[in-house]
Structure 1
């Protein structure tokens, strides 16, 4: 009869098993197969893998349930079989172990590497559902594995601890050595779990050496056991075959170094097989759990909580200016062709008129335009202007997005507006892919992580970025309170200022002010002049998020002369500015088409009116 795990692990290093999924693929199981469904369809296959690991020396085997949660199983139409799949997996593992090995219920991350918004309460329910089924099956312990983010892992820990006090290990998967994806050093992350779990550790993603490097540099609380289940090296392509590069003998050599870190439970993850476990069996026999010797200093101590104060922002930042004076942001679209002369001329005239920052869209309406990064760099170098660039979630995956932002930092461009971006299918290249790796909420958070000197993957960047991050607000909704609730979540994510869609009547401006007067960050109210009746109809009927009043439509319908129509559009806009300037210190002028002359005239109007007001107050 097996002794309780907690007693066994006091005097022995617990040798775990290796990979299930990658080993099954090596046996010919198709990659796209739902691995967990095999517990029902091919139980003898799963049992044979468990038996191979027990024969190789494993004293702990994991159930084939890494992704057996409702969210993942729904993709295969198996959402109603969560309990059955998990219970059957325990039965198979217990049959294979024959009391020669402990059976741990495997619960994997639900996010599983994705970056997305999620509901913590929903995740709590998902983890509880899976854990309940595993406990019903009779597991000896629970292993929470492959979690990139501390926040999600804490939810899983709470879910399990609400149900049981059996042995519980929690393992992170790192994208970079020594730090979680949500920017905690391992020392911080392990400390957060102290008193909640029996042990902490690492699995997947990193090979033996990088796992070793991570453990060498972190501090593990004395009350926690330590585990390590590295991959068999990095995944690569050799002779057209995708596989992990690591010989079983090498895995054994590095395992000995990992054990010297005070590891109490060791095994393998992706790319490992029974041969790897057999190689380290004899080494494990020689070791008794060593008392962990923590490094004197945590070399990866976090600056995660550092926030930039207003005094640390650059002096010409719109965020600094708008606190004290009228601040004008003017949007001016980059050209659709290769001729930049008109754009540069218009930008210079806008700057001379008194615009504080020129903002450039990121291929607005999914229509291809010249790179706003390139033209932003030219404006900065030639005009000494600090531009404000839109950054859309649509066009770049996470690799390209971080690279783009790092490039902005290198150029000294630190003002950005994070937006979702219109889908590609509505633009001039409808066959192009819309990426959307992240939502605007998540991208705001990740940009602020760069401000802490931490990359999207958790890697230290040696410098901290200094981005001032704006977000968009669409006030053209039936219930503006709902839009403001969404805005508040963006502010919670880290947004520093707000830019609204253009408004076309006093009532809407007053409505916006009343709905947002409690918002502490600056709001730049959008104002865009109309150029013609046809333009008004187009904006009102075809552009999402814009509404024009019947009064304005009627006024514009009375003229067909282009110059007269633009003059009328200017007059209507000045009236709107009078209203907006009473309520908001930030004005966001949106240049229609390439008519920069209209924005120049409106900028002069704003500056002259402010000067008259100042004189009147003296």
Structure 2
């Protein structure tokens, strides 16, 4: 029977976990996928056990088959091919002919051996091998984001329009994936994807938690719904140990079926006992009780817009002729120690200039400074200047980042600059480990979701860095588009000094306007103050291009004021040459000499 016809009338019972069950049976630390070529009889035995327990669907033993785990391409092809062949052979062995084989594809790491992976190419490569083996059903499972998989689903459907594709997300007990995305958002995207036939959840949580999260999701009527929970939460400190109860598991899964699930089975910790418990219960197709209305969050009315450019409308200095109507932000570096007198003196000195925002870096260059958000909170409450803390991905995982953002929001922070972050200096890496749970785009997606779920009445406005001087500008423009899609509404750049950099910045702005008419561009400015300062920035600050002609404008025998005037003149020139296309300026002033703004913007 064609699978869509089957699902219209019956609930499809899938198998349980392969990997954890294999490890339990054979007490090995090797990838179970390697058994496809070294111990095929073991693979056949496990598939057969699941079928004999009542499973009508088998997943191929290929979850971890990718280039991250198999560097030899020929070995990878062989393992995938044998995994498909064994599952197909096992499915044919049952008498009623209703066993369906799904090519099982798990997530591929974005970076392998310090190299970024072309995920689309790798996923379609796996799919092609499976298609050549006769696979027509595909299960993408345990994913944290769907953006990388939807194009692959489209590719498979273009190759075989009758292919059946199921995509499953993995979440924690609160509904968030390891990428910080709530599965509600992912399911909505999958609901609008014509290439996807079924969507749901697997792994991460036990059946009761999965039932609760599923009840919070909105599914479109034309998608089948899948649910493959873990046996329980893992326990113990050595490996993945699950103490689930098969009877309890089946009771909870039965309730999920009664809510309207179409495909059910088990993930980590489950074995044939769990599937037998499900199949022995009287289950029948139920009327769908899941929510049908998509994009519910979009109906939530935003009451405020606390972006610093909205606040700037009230700024009495906004019409100052020297500013030419541009927004002005100034970076103040938090202190290395506990004495905040200098930064607070500088922040208070900025009040008279009527600037629109103060940005505070998050331990740049991997060297500890006072927390950017806590300093932003103090600066805002003491000066009433909108504070824009940098938040980087280097030092915190998604749990800590969400916690930090919640705390910042409670304390009145409504603006942020989201960056990936500088790596930890090489000499410190033996003692200090970077986190980098994800890059800046991933963190923006977290904040985008939090704005929809938590902060919709008064959302946090966030921006991003724009590296206009990358050797390959096309890569940066592509990144810029992804950041805008992830909710970035403004971009700040490194200091600009040369005509070449201005031209590249203009090209970025042109592309930005094609993507979004609302995104704002802040041109980075730095008034260099001495020959030594200019030489240091030119030679020791990556990503900043200081031309020799500007360095040679300084001399060692200049007075302090003479050096400052050279830097002021240089900045004014850049402002004049960019006034027609940038939205504002982002000042990084050496040694916190904020008084220089008197000569620059008045």
TM-score of the superposed pair, with normalisation by structure 1? 0.81
Question: Does the CA-based 8 Å contact 2:21-2:270 persist in structure 1?
Answer: yes
Which stretch of the first structure deviates more once superposed, 301-310 or 436-445? 301-310
Q: CA 1:605–1:307 in 2, change beyond 3 Å: closer, same or farther? A: farther
Q: 1:40 offset after TM fit, Å?
A: 0.5
CA distance in 1, matches of 2:582, 2:147: 37
**Distance in 2 (alpha carbons) for counterparts of 1:4 and 1:588:** 60
SS at match of 1:278: helix
CA deviations 1:132-175 (Å, max 9, x no partner) are: 1441xxx5744443344444453343333334466725142341
Structure 1 counterpart of 2:466: 473
Q: 1:80 to 1:571 in 2, by over 3 A?
A: same
The residue aligned with 2:248 is 250
SS of 2:64's equivalent? coil
- C-alpha spacing 1:112/1:173, structure 2 compared with 1 (3 Å): farther
Q: Greater CA deviation, 95-104 or 547-556?
A: 95-104
* Selected match of 2:287 from 285, 289, 292: 292
> Match of 1:93?
87
Deviations 1:184-220 (A, max 9, x none): 45874564357853x5543322322233334445565
After superposition, the Cα gap between the structure-2 partners of 1:483 and 1:343, relative to the gap in structure 1 and judged at 3 Å, is same
Contact between 1:149 and 1:182, CA under 8 Å: does it hold in 2? no
> Does 3-12 or 224-233 show the bigger shift?
3-12
Tell me how far apart the structure 2 counterparts of residues 474 and 171 of structure 1 sit (CA, whole Å). Answer: 34
CA distance in structure 2 between the partners assigned to 1:148 and 1:559 by the alignment: 58
Q: Which 10-residue stretch deviates more, 393-402 or 259-268? A: 259-268
SS of the residue corresponding to residue 128 of structure 1 reads: helix
Greater mean alpha carbon deviation, residues 298-307 or residues 583-592 = 298-307
**SS at structure 2 position matched to 1:500:** strand
Deviations 1:81-105 (A, max 9, x none): 3442233123323444522462413
Residue 516 (structure 1) aligns with: 509
1:3-14 equivalences under 5 Å are: 13-14=11-12
Question: Partners of 1:267 and 1:170 in 2: how far apart?
Answer: 13
- Aligned-partner Cα distance in 2 for 1:170–1:334: 48
Q: Give a deviation string over 1:530-575, Cα, whole Å, max 9, x none.
A: 2322221111111101222223222212526556544544454455
Q: Indicate the residue corresponding to 2:516 in structure 1.
A: none
* Equivalence for 1:387: 387
1:337, CA displacement in angstroms?
A: 1.5
The answer on whether the counterparts of 1:536 and 1:553 sit within 8 Å (CA) in structure 2 is yes
What is the alpha-carbon distance in structure 2 between the residues aligned to residue 221 and residue 573 of structure 1? 55
Judge conservation of contact 2:346–2:594 (CA < 8 Å) in 1.
Answer: no
Partner of 1:237 in structure 2? 236
Partner of 1:106: 103
Q: Find 1:75's aligned residue among 54, 61, 69.
A: 69
Q: CA deviation at 1:527?
A: 1.8
Which secondary structure state, in structure 1, belongs to the residue aligned with residue 554 of structure 2? helix
Q: For residues 254-403 of structure 1, what are the structure 2 equivalents within 5 Å?
A: 254-283=252-281, 286-287=282-283, 289-294=284-289, 298=292, 301-303=295-297, 313=307, 317=311, 325-403=325-403
Q: C-alpha separation between the residues in 2 aligned to 1:252 and 1:117?
A: 41
SS at 2:127's partner residue? helix
| Residue 496 of structure 1: aligned partner | 489
Q: Is the 8 A contact 1:348 1:383 kept in 2?
A: yes
CA distance in 1, matches of 2:532, 2:353: 29
Answer yes or no: is the 8 Å Cα contact 2:10–2:262 preserved in 1: yes
Other structure's SS at 1:381 match: helix
CA 1:10–1:420: 2 relative to 1, 3 Å? closer
What does the per-residue CA deviation read over 1:15-54, in whole Å, with 9 as the maximum and x for residues that have no partner? 33211011112124434x2221210011122122223223
| Shift in CA distance, 277/536, structure 1 to aligned 2, threshold 3 Å | same
Task: For residue 251 of structure 2, give the secondary structure of its aligned residue in structure 1.
Answer: helix
Q: How far apart are residue 435 of structure 1 and its match?
A: 2.2
Cα distance, 1:273 vs structure 2: 0.9
8 Å CA contact retained: 1:328, 1:355: yes
Q: In the TM superposition, what are the counterparts of 1:445-484 in structure 2 within 5 Å?
A: 445-453=445-453, 461=454, 463=456, 466-476=459-469, 483-484=476-477
Of residues 313-322 and 535-544 in structure 1, the stretch that sits farther from structure 2 once superposed is: 313-322
1:304–1:113: structure 2 CA closer, same or farther, 3 Å change rule? farther
Distance 1:192 1:582, change over 3 A: closer
Please name the residue that 2:549 is paired with. 551
Change in Cα spacing, 1:103 to 1:112, as seen in structure 2 (3 Å) is farther
Total equivalences in the alignment: 582
Answer yes or no: is the 8 Å Cα contact 1:178–1:186 preserved in 2.
Answer: no
2:588 paired with 1:590: yes
Deviation at 1:339, TM superposition (A): 0.9
Secondary structure at the aligned position of 1:368 is classed as coil
Please give the alpha-carbon distance, in whole angstroms, between the structure 1 residues aligned to 2:31 and 2:577. Answer: 60
What is aligned with 1:458? none
Once the two structures are superposed, residues 476-498 of structure 1 have per-residue CA deviations (whole angstroms, 9 ceiling, x without a partner) of: 45676765554444334432222
More moved, 81-90 vs 576-585: 576-585
Give me the whole-angstrom Cα distance separating, in 2, the residues matched to 1:166 and 1:518: 38
**Larger CA Rg, structure 1 vs 2:** 1
Indicate conservation of the 8 Å contact 1:186/1:218, yes or no. Answer: no
SS at match of 1:336: coil
Correspondence 1:43 to 2:37? no
Q: Distance in 2 between matches of 1:316 and 1:308?
A: 14
CA change 1:212–1:120 in 2 (3 A) is same
Aligned to 2:526: 528
